[in-house]
Structure 1
């Protein structure tokens, strides 16, 4: 067995049609901190203390093509961990009530017989995000 040459995900960048709405979602619905930005790009950087997410503004939201997870190569979804099933329920309630969020499916086992539970939604701007309890 070899030792991995990497230390984990440094950050994830999402290209979105309205980064202000996405920033507000991460900050106000999930409690992330806004930790920076690049006004000229434009971009916002948000973090929960362990995960950094960059929110990049697409140049023309009206003509931007939404990602199709079954047809496009690229980020299928971003999976964000939660502490436990109670936290998952809290996140689901908060996210499900957030403007511009579409729930793909509610909390359920990640696969038959698994203790891991998750749900998937589309955040404001259309990026697909999963929230999941720990493995094990």
Structure 2
């Protein structure tokens, strides 16, 4: 492995969650609970991101499904639903230091959506890799809040 790529395996520590855009959060939570037997671990409204969301646990893995419903017709999730319908909206990787990972990725020519991390679920710090630089996938970088996970 070349020296400039030797830290790749250390950038991401786990798959944190897969984000699913849904038109109705209550209906989606009921489906995941009743059809799959999954437990809703956390629910919140994130005004800054324009979503009402729930984290649904996947077994004992520590990974989650994030259900995202729009707060307004102008929100990013509402626009996603209008374009694509319900479905996978993002893949999120857990990181130890979102700013460091963002700097490394920018150094490798990838664009991030924000200049600085923003607040994510449960006070995590997040940023996103532009889908055009990640094979058409919106990739979220998640640094959990202290004491989370």
TM norm. shorter chain > 0.5? no
For normalisation by structure 1, the TM-score amounts to: 0.42
TM-score computed with the length of structure 2 as normaliser: 0.39
Structure having the larger proportion of residues in helix:
2
